[in-house]
Amino acid sequence: MADLAVTQARTAANLDRLEANLDRREANFDRLEAADVRAAARLERTEANIDRLEANLDRFAAEMRADREASRKEMTEFKSEMAQFEKRMDAFGARIDADIAAGRREQRELNQKLGEIANKQGRIVEDIVAPSLERIVSEVFDLPAADVHLMGARFKRFQSKRRDRLREFDAAVAAPGLLLINESKSDLRPEHVTKFAASLGSVRAYFPEFGAHVKIVGCVASLHIAPSLVRHASRKGLLALGVGDSLMDVLNAKGFVPKRY
């Protein structure tokens, strides 16, 4: 009887343990089911977020395509407008260039006519050459216009030490450190150029007020000077002046430096 009681007690204990284990397993199963439910809910939310994100991306892509298309259209229209504007500006520039060229031709023709009239009246120096000399000296020697002065046109001077020697000068211009002597001819010839260049060495004797530091520069002028005569004058170190856009212009090649005596 005692053994049976022990056996029954053990059996009851085992049953209790089995029931406890079963309860724990059921609790674990319930927790697992709850976790699955929560995971499923999170998955649904994630999928919903992904769907919203994809929808937003689709809208953004559509907007970007629309913006690119609008920008492409605007750029095409802008390029077309710029091309038309450039064409109009080219045409306008061509008209301006043509007007300037025509104006220069008219100015040269007018200067030529004025020179011819002055030449007929024997006043080429006074009316054509002399009024241009101050500007030319200022431009050629890069001097302020206020420092350049015309001393006179068609004037005579005695040598400072030889009162029996009188010389006529067509025109002279004084500037700081410089004295320009002009020889003008209605029909300038090579021998005129050669003779004038040779005479510049004695000019200082007629202008004693200018010290040794003042350099003498010569220039020849005429209404028409052939290119060969311009080159001849340049070889002699002389400026060559002829009718141009500004009444009288320097005809020497660009970069020419006149000789200084």
pLDDT at 119: 52
Quickly state the pLDDT bin for 41 (edges 50, 70, 90).
confident
- Cα separation, 12 vs 20, in Å, equals 12
What is the average pLDDT across 218-235? Answer: 94
| Phi, psi (rounded to 5 degrees) for 134 | -60, -45
Find the angle CA(10)-CA(12)-CA(16) to the nearest 5 degrees. 115
- Angle (CA) 189-194-197 rounded to 5° is 125
Confidence of residue 208 (pLDDT cuts 50, 70, 90): very high
pLDDT digits (tens, 9 = 90+) for 89-113: 776 666 766 655 555 666 565 555 6
d(CA 205, CA 215) in angstroms, rounded, equals 13
What tens digit of pLDDT does each residue of 65-98 get? 877 878 788 788 878 777 787 777 776 666 766 6
- Residue 250 CA to residue 137 CA, distance in Å, equals 10
Tokens representing 55? 């929808």
The full set of domain ranges for the chain reads 1-121, 122-250
Task: Give the pLDDT mean for 19-25.
Answer: 76
What topology does CATH give the domain 122-250?
Trna Endonuclease; Chain: A, domain 1 (3.40.1350)
pTM of the model: 0.56
Tens digits of residue pLDDT in 167-197:
999 999 999 999 999 999 988 999 999 999 9
Across-strand partners of 149? 174
What tokens does 52 get?
């919203």
